[in-house]
Structure 1
Amino acid sequence: MELFTSFLGEINTFLYSKFLIVLLILTGLYFTIRTGFIQIRMVPEAIRVIQEKGKEGSLSSFQALMIATASRVGTGNIAGVSTALVLGGSGAVVWMWIMCLIGGASAFIESTLAQIYKRKDGSIFKGGPAYYIETALHARWLGIIFSILLILCFAFGFNGLQAFNIASSFEYYVPDFSDSYVPMTIGIILALISAVLFFGGAHRISKVSSILVPIMASIYILIGLIIIFTNISKLPEVLSVCFSEAFDFQSIVGGFAGSCMVIGIKRGLFSNEAGMGSAPNAAAAADVSHPVKQGLVQVLSVFIDTLIICSTTAFIVLLSGKFVPGGELTAIPLVQQSVAAQFGEIGIHIVTVAICLFAFTSVIGNYFYAEANIKFISENPVVMFVFRILAILMVFVGAQVSMQTAWDLADILMGCMATVNIIAILLLGRIAVGALKDYQKQKEQGIDPVFKASNIGLHDTELWK
């Protein structure tokens, strides 16, 4: 087992320190140029689109945005960011911002493709990378491989981890926590709530996400704003340090692997998941008049995750006086102590609530992604029933047991999944760019864009005839 764990560690290091990080950056830069910096110039249009109401019984752009944001925003936005700052220094936050802006273009391409190649699923839609890989690349076998990787990664790996994070957040309150009945009790409660949502299908998940995610994000951002305005006099100095460290290339080159640049890039890329093939599964479910609309909306999800939520954590930590680069206090305890420095003991409780909300919304968002891919492999209701039971069991078990090896394996599966998706969107990116040109042409004519696949030379879509 030790040898296997060491082997997983070597693969993880290669994927996330060398191969995947370069692939994601180059892909993001390529699509940024191809789309004419769409993630910046069309933000006002994206904000307008999320205000459009969906048809009765279907998922609106806003609901699809909330599902994607639910999965993207997890405990990594709290623990991951604080750890990145401790390991890489203040400059890491600036590189997170840069990667967010670059990744927005990849998020646009993959989500637009998911909309173009989506399929009818009762009163709503289903889709994602597996679907556009099968239809546009004529490679169902590769689509199935992608689906299996995503299901194992999100429904079983990451959901077990999120359940464990929820349970662990109560360790502060219970002596001998691991030997008590508290983890099992939390596991039972999480499993029961998950069962109601998982068996309730996409509509129930979308409704819960559209309520819970805005509340969750608003409370956390409000806490951050209070801390920022209370310490506003320190803000110019903190920002100055962030930017000076971010572009101190002599220091970066000297310790490249552990530099603020490398750690900030990693945290930014793997927090917002842009280009990695997960969010398109939510993007495909939206009912919009043109695929580009949902592509634009998913750019906002990337920004919400990194520019808003991750930045909130960063400023909470950097302004608190508790932050020490390379210090022992890190991850969730650092954020708890940072908030407590401003709010007292209640600050620890605030962070505990935030962790629980962030982690649980990730659980339901991750499940939504996995369900779309189960449907791609098989429409058999028995298969779906068994999958839902197994997904619920994983939440129950994950709350009680630290399965580090399984979570390390999930990281590798996600890296493989992302590689398949990046290859697909590089091959199919011209289709999304064609859809963008069609959208812009209609906007210039002063009309609300409506998509017809034939307008950009497509004849292999199930919808958009």
Structure 2
Amino acid sequence: METILNVITAVCGKIQVVSDLFWDFPTNFDWYANIPILGNFSLAIILLIGSGIYFSIRLRFIQVRKFKRGIEVLKTSKAKTGISPLASFFLSTAMRVGPGNILGVTGAVSVGGPGALLWMWISAFFGMSTAFVESTLSQIFKERKDDEYVGGMAFYGRRLLKNSAIVGVVLSLMYIIYALLCFPAQGFNTVSAMGQIASIISGTELPTTHAIYWIGFVVVIIATVSVSFGGTKKISKVTDVLVPIMAIVYVLTVLILIVINFNRIPWFFYAVFTEAFKPEAVFGGAFGIALMQGVKRGLMSNEAGQGTITMPAAASDANHPCDQGCVQAIGVFLDTIVICTLTGFVVIMGRVWLTDAAAAWFELGKLPKYLASAAELTPGTAFNAVVTLLISLCFGLFAFTCLLGFMSFSEICANRISRSKAFINVIRVLDIIVICFGMLTSIVGMDLGALWDLSDFANILIAYCNIPLLYIGFKYVKKAQLHYEKEDNTPFTSDVVGIEVNVWDEKAKE
């Protein structure tokens, strides 16, 4: 078994090298890195933040102007076909609000310093407009399958590139591969959280070989199989329940910590804003490190620009494509500006790196780092155990809902390749196998860092595929936006965007 783990770790290490190349290029060349200011910005950062800035300007900061409208759309909880805008929001939030909201933020701060959080905020603000564009595109080009809507990056990619079937297949395969690369980390996190909860309840640190981990393994597989084989509608029913619960519990838990430590709030903002441009030496001492960590972990969390949230956006029975664009912009806000900021409060306000335990803290894994920071905010109190339990519970739910989201979107992409039930089931089984692998790596004691490298690579790879499509399709989004803001109650049809959109033409006749 040790030999197998070593091989897997070695493979992940090779993938990390490629991933870092994609993320860092061309800052890994001295001639570029030595350019003042610009040398801190990699192509990935320029592409992601730059696109958000471009879309924000072209759409006149629609993420701000139509924020209230997005909230109003969320009040729609019923749908004639597909799922409601609210259900779509919960399904996409199940993907966005994942372990990365804890692990990603903790990792970004521990490597790039408190200033990394500011770059998360900035990338998220502009990312809201990117999310608007990709979600509106997915609505414009969605298709109907029985009593559901299917769509997303693979669907609008095919339509935008001369209606090429091969493009749709390639993009669908890209997403399926993306999901397969991300599944192991989510499986790992789900079982790890269950083990953490069991350890807290028993009062003893349980080894990963303990029976509770195997029980957790079986429970997660049974739950995942029973839900995922019911299709997108069944998955959305589960996320409709779990997402509000985990979000509310997590937010309330952290808010209590903030209230208890309100005297540290001024220092939190001071640290974030001052160290965004001048991190302490203990964190690497480079502006570029804080910038890269903030953008990289922000992307992993809110997924703006990746095209991964376009599937639930397309599934919504929206009244206008831009309605769903506004909703998904709010999703980015909730994920990063709210959830990630709360995580940042705990890690930064904990200030463990300023205590005698600093050296030991830096050696810990991301989740133990976060729990240690939370413990620093409730020193010597019984409340610490309660906080640790609630955070572990939320962490496990974050990971499980992510699994469901990935499976749902894999199925949608599989539909782009073939509508055959046999083929769809093959993809489902393949997903389950990879999830099992991820959970087994937790049980045998593999380091999560290796699996995290897979997710990093998958994130940037899928973003490089999606961003160019957003520029190609932006003219249709702009036409849709102009029609949307006229507010003349005319239906959205092919005539509005100048390209055939059968679903909307049929909807206009209803």
Which amino acid counterpart does residue 430 of structure 1 have in structure 2? K
The DSSP-based 3-state class of the residue aligned with 1:120 is strand
Contact 2:479–2:496 (Cα < 8 Å) also in 1: no
Contact 1:188–1:396 (Cα < 8 Å) also in 2: no
* 1:381 correspondence with 2:421: yes
- Distance in 1 separating the partners of 2:433 and 2:154: 25
| Bigger mean CA deviation after superposition, 119-128 or 170-179 | 170-179
The DSSP-based 3-state class of the residue aligned with 1:63 is helix
- Distance in 1 separating the partners of 2:67 and 2:269: 24
- Distance in 1 separating the partners of 2:302 and 2:353: 24
1:129-148 mapped onto 2 (5 Å cutoff): 129-138=153-162, 139-148=164-173
- Shift of the alpha carbon at 1:296? 0.6
Residue 387 of structure 2 is matched in structure 1 by 347
Contact 1:149–1:414 (Cα < 8 Å) also in 2: no
1:278-299, Cα deviation, whole Å (9 max, x unpaired): 0001100000111000011000
- Shift of the alpha carbon at 1:228? 1.3
- Distance in 2 separating the partners of 1:275 and 1:399: 29
Q: How many corresponding residue pairs?
A: 458
1:375-424, Cα deviation, whole Å (9 max, x unpaired): 00011111112222222232223211248766634543432222111111
Residue 336 of structure 2 is matched in structure 1 by 306
- Distance in 1 separating the partners of 2:344 and 2:457: 27
| Residue 283 of structure 1, aligned match among 299, 313, 324 | 313
1:62-73 mapped onto 2 (5 Å cutoff): 62-73=86-97
Residue 218 of structure 1 is matched in structure 2 by 248
Structure 1 residues 330 and 381 mapped into 2: Cα distance closer, same or farther (>3 Å)?
closer
* 1:152 correspondence with 2:183: no
* 1:269 correspondence with 2:299: yes
Contact 1:147–1:377 (Cα < 8 Å) also in 2: yes
Structure 1 residues 132 and 12 mapped into 2: Cα distance closer, same or farther (>3 Å)?
same
TM-score for the superposition, normalised by structure 1 = 0.92
Higher relative contact order structure (alpha carbons within 8 Å, sequence separation ≥ 6): 1
How many percent identity over aligned positions? 32
- Shift of the alpha carbon at 1:276? 0.6
Which amino acid counterpart does residue 281 of structure 1 have in structure 2? M
- Shift of the alpha carbon at 1:212? 0.8
Structure 1 residues 39 and 236 mapped into 2: Cα distance closer, same or farther (>3 Å)?
same
1:156-175 mapped onto 2 (5 Å cutoff): 156-172=180-196, 173=199
TM-score for the superposition, normalised by structure 2 = 0.84
- Shift of the alpha carbon at 1:22? 2.3
The DSSP-based 3-state class of the residue aligned with 2:208 is helix
Structure 1 residues 85 and 454 mapped into 2: Cα distance closer, same or farther (>3 Å)?
same
Contact 2:82–2:316 (Cα < 8 Å) also in 1: yes
The DSSP-based 3-state class of the residue aligned with 1:125 is strand
| Bigger mean CA deviation after superposition, 138-147 or 60-69 | 138-147
- Distance in 1 separating the partners of 2:331 and 2:324: 11
| Residue 18 of structure 2, aligned match among 2, 11, 22 | 11
* 1:391 correspondence with 2:431: yes
| Residue 463 of structure 2, aligned match among 403, 418, 425 | 418
- Shift of the alpha carbon at 1:178? 3.2
Residue 502 of structure 2 is matched in structure 1 by 462
* 1:75 correspondence with 2:99: yes
- Shift of the alpha carbon at 1:455? 2.0
Return 5+ residue gaps in structure 2 as ranges. Answer: 1-6, 25-41, 506-510
- Distance in 2 separating the partners of 1:214 and 1:453: 36
| Residue 337 of structure 1, aligned match among 364, 372, 376 | 372
1:42-66, Cα deviation, whole Å (9 max, x unpaired): 1011111111243246311111011
| Bigger mean CA deviation after superposition, 29-38 or 229-238 | 229-238
The DSSP-based 3-state class of the residue aligned with 2:149 is strand
Residue 70 of structure 2 is matched in structure 1 by 46
RMSD of aligned residue pairs (Cα, Å): 2.3
Residue 191 of structure 1 is matched in structure 2 by 221
- Distance in 1 separating the partners of 2:118 and 2:226: 40
- Shift of the alpha carbon at 1:142? 2.4
- Distance in 2 separating the partners of 1:410 and 1:248: 28
Residue 494 of structure 2 is matched in structure 1 by 453
Return 5+ residue gaps in structure 1 as ranges. Answer: none
Residue 243 of structure 1 is matched in structure 2 by 273
| Bigger mean CA deviation after superposition, 372-381 or 394-403 | 394-403
Structure 1 residues 353 and 104 mapped into 2: Cα distance closer, same or farther (>3 Å)?
same
